[in-house]
Structure formats: C-alpha cells, structure tokens
Chain A
C-alpha cells in the first residue's frame, strides 16, 4: 500500500498531462482576458454615455453579471442554452462566460479610473474646444491608464484562478487534468499539489508585475 508520503516518480509521471492542462488554462485565460478588457471598455463607454435605454441596460447587465455566481452563468450557457439551439464547445463556452463575467467586473474598474480624473480636466478640454478623439487619446487615457492598468491586471489574475471552474464543464484545463490523473491512480496528493503550485507561481509572478506597474504609475 502506498502511503501518504510524496511519491516523486509518480509526481514526475503526471507532469506532462498537467503541463498540457496548464497550457490550456493559460490560453483560455488570455483569450477571456482580451475579450473581457475590450468588451468591458466598450461596455463602460456605453454605460457612461447617457444613451437613453442603452446606458441603463448596460448598467443593469453589468450589475447582473457581477451579482450572480460565475458557476451558474457557466451552467446556464452549457446546459440550458443548447435546449434553445444555442450551443458552443466546452472551451468556447468557457472563454465566452469567463470573458463576459470579467468584462462585467472590469466595467467597475474603468468607471473608478475615469472618476479618478478631476472634473477640471474635462472642463479644460471643453473650454479649449478640443476634438473628442484628441481628448480621449491625449488627455484622458494617458492619465487614467496608470490607475486602471494595475486594477485590470489584478482582475486578470482573478480570472486565471477562476478558470479552474471550467473543469466542471469538461474543459481539459489544469484542474481537470489533475483530477483525472488522481482518479486514474487513486492518488490525488501529487497532481493537486503540483496544480496548486502552478497556479501560485503564475499568480505570484503576475502580482509582482502588477505591483511594479502600480509603482510606476504612482511616480508620475
């Protein structure tokens, strides 16, 4: 009987599978993050633009996605929508739901960033009659980015860890691979520990990067 002690040979043997899962986790996170940050930006602009009907709707949708569990959103898209003829592959479902959930959360961050810009900056732009494209490109974004980018970075780190939930809809990401390896040999300690370490290593490195970004923003 194999004991509870760490088995190096076994740990080594599950690494290739784990690395495949890890690669997919990173890939899905990056695609979802790109979707989240770009969709979130458009979403924020619509929310703040004061368009009748559309802006309140954008506000409500953001609140809704932020206020319901990610897991439920995932299950609805994966198990319910196919009954109405809307079906995606597990990976696509994962990217879509994680991306929209991240976008809804990023709306708050973009809003906080824009609100950090003093009202006087907008007023100066208007008093100078500057064209709107210039106002955003040269006045707003360069001042808001140092505030918003670290917050977005932290959001991507959270999304990276949240992507573990995609294991529940048969996406073969890191947690799925670790679980499957454990089930195959009835030994979970090594694969789960290694998976945890991989998440931690990436999160830690990314968090350090974010902190450096924050420090640079603060220096301006």
Chain B
C-alpha cells in the first residue's frame, strides 16, 4: 500500500471487469486549442469513477464525447462494446452516421450542471414523456414509473410542479430522475451541484450516494466535492491539461497524490 510506481506515465486503462467505456487515442481541439490529445481511458461496468481536475482541463469535454454531444477529431470511443462514431467492417473502421451514434448512446445518460429541464412541463412530464418516446412505454406505465422515480429522489410531493416552482436542488433531482427513467447503463454527471446554493448541495449528493451504493449502474462523476468523491467512488481520476495525472483508489489518489500539481489542486479545493 502506498507504493506507486512513478516511473511509468499514468495510463487510465486499468480496470476490472468488462469495460463499458473504452477511449483510445482520443483527440479534441477547438480551433488551435488542443484540449485532449491521445487520451486512453477505460471504465469497467459498474465502476463509480470520480473525475476531478482544475477548471478548463477538459472534464466536460470528455463527458460530452461519451454521449456524442461532441465528436472527436481522432481516436475511437467504444460504449458497451460498440463504437460510437465508427462501424467496424471486415476489420477496418469506417465513419458511421448519426443514426448509428444515436443507437449506441441509448445506454448513456447525462445530468448537466444547469439541469436543462423543459421549463414548460411539470416534473412528471419531464420524466415520463422521454420514457414514452425512447422506451416506447404506454403513457400510464410511463407515468407510474416516473412517479416512482420522483418519489425515490424525494420529490413525491412535487410531481405536478414546473421547474420554476422548484428549488435548484429539486430541479437537479428531477433531471436525475429524467435520466434514470431511460435506464442507462452509464450515467455521466457534470458538476451537478456547481450551480446550486451551498445549502442545496447535500440533497443532490445524497441522491448520487444512494445511486452509487444501490445500483450497478456505471457512474462517471465530475465533481469538485473531494470528500464526496472519496466517499462514494471506487476510483478517482485526476485530470490536468487534458491528461490523466492520477488514477487509483480514492485513498491513494487523495491522500498520497504523486503529482505536484495534483497536490496543489487538491489543497486549493480543500481549503475553499
């Protein structure tokens, strides 16, 4: 314990079990600014991974790549054994179309920093309508399941309210229920408490904690809440400038970071 081989560059490819995420040689630039370069990342099915790193280091970009909101400039992304942007034909990779990406990302869900709920719909409609559309459920069944999900995130009494009638923490829980309704295998959480008033952070983290402990869903959580990450994650990845600089169990990464910048970054966060 505590002995980490520091001669090897960190490669975030070690993980137990069948990988649900496999990124290889992924590159992403915005104009002349290269955000990610040669990124390899594996996430095993069922893993709860916390992604931490300074602002602007490319964390959001990684999540957006995984759900197909952003297309990589180079490299491959596999979700649950299927290429997101490519199809393999006779051993060679070909660029696949939007319909293919659509089908692959069906098992991925994402919760955004700004919730992005539909403001003109009730909490219940926000949750049950996507279930009808995507899972092809009949309305009564979708509604019943949506009610159960909203109750599970503690909003059983607020199902008929619109987002504007809910607090930020409640809205974010509706957004989590909306994603869960589609039964993703992989859930991406992008700083889901960053837009919340401090007193509302706990209720949302509580929902994430419960999901982490009680489901076998794979979770990729971008967060600045280090203590929370240490508490629920099996694995912590620290990013800096588009590279993985730390990868390991929370105990090792957070208590004994090998990289000076990681130490600096963690100190900055913990002192806030």
A129, CB-defined interface residue at 8 Å: yes
Interface residues of A (CB under 8 A from B): 118, 120-121, 123-124, 126-131, 134, 138-139, 142-143, 220
Q: How far is the CB of A127 from chain B (nearest CB, A)?
A: 4
CB contact between A127 and one of B69, B117, B119 (< 8 Å): that residue: B69
Q: How far is the CB of B67 from chain A (nearest CB, A)?
A: 5
Cβ–Cβ contact B112 & A129, under 8 A: no
B116, CB-defined interface residue at 8 Å: yes
Q: How far is the CB of B26 from chain A (nearest CB, A)?
A: 19
By beta carbon, the residue of chain A nearest B107 is A129
List CB contacts (< 8 Å) of B104-130 with chain A. Answer: 105-106, 108-110, 112, 114, 116-121, 129-130
B88, CB-defined interface residue at 8 Å: no
User: Could you tell me the distance between the alpha carbons of A126 and B67 in the complex, rounded to whole angstroms?
Assistant: 9
B68, CB-defined interface residue at 8 Å: yes
**Minimum-distance CB pairs A-B, first 7:** A124-B116, A120-B116, A127-B110, A128-B130, A134-B133, A142-B120, A127-B67
CB contact between A143 and one of B69, B119, B178 (< 8 Å): that residue: B119
Count of A-B contacts judged by CB separation below 8 Å: 52
Q: Is the interface of A mostly helix, strand, loop or mixed?
A: helix
CB contact between A129 and one of B106, B114, B117, B121 (< 8 Å): that residue: B106
How many chain B residues touch the partner (CB < 8 A)? 24
Name 8 A/B residue pairs within 8 A (Cβ), A-sorted.
Answer: A120-B112, A120-B116, A123-B112, A124-B112, A127-B109, A128-B130, A128-B182, A129-B106
By beta carbon, the residue of chain B nearest A138 is B129
By beta carbon, the residue of chain A nearest B125 is A138
Interface centre among B105, B120, B178, B182 (most CB of A within 10 A): B120
Cβ–Cβ contact B116 & A123, under 8 A: yes
Instruction: Please name 6 further chain A to chain B contacts, defined as beta carbons within 8 Å, in addition to the given A127-B69, A139-B118, sorted by A numbering.
Output: A118-B116, A120-B114, A126-B67, A127-B108, A129-B182, A143-B119
B61, CB-defined interface residue at 8 Å: no
Residues of A within 8 Å of B134, CB to CB, are 128-130
Cβ–Cβ contact B120 & A143, under 8 A: yes
B102, CB-defined interface residue at 8 Å: yes
User: Could you tell me the distance between the alpha carbons of A21 and B129 in the complex, rounded to whole angstroms?
Assistant: 50
Cβ–Cβ contact B133 & A131, under 8 A: yes
Residues of B within 8 Å of A120, CB to CB, are 112, 114, 116
B193, CB-defined interface residue at 8 Å: no
B170, CB-defined interface residue at 8 Å: no
User: Could you tell me the distance between the alpha carbons of A129 and B105 in the complex, rounded to whole angstroms?
Assistant: 8
By beta carbon, the residue of chain B nearest A130 is B133
Interface string of B68-99 (1 = CB under 8 A from A): 11000000000000000000000000000000
Given A128-B134, A131-B133, A138-B129, verify A123-B69 contact (CB < 8 Å). yes
Cβ–Cβ contact B68 & A126, under 8 A: yes
Residues of A within 8 Å of B116, CB to CB, are 118, 120-121, 123-124
Residues of B within 8 Å of A134, CB to CB, are 129, 133
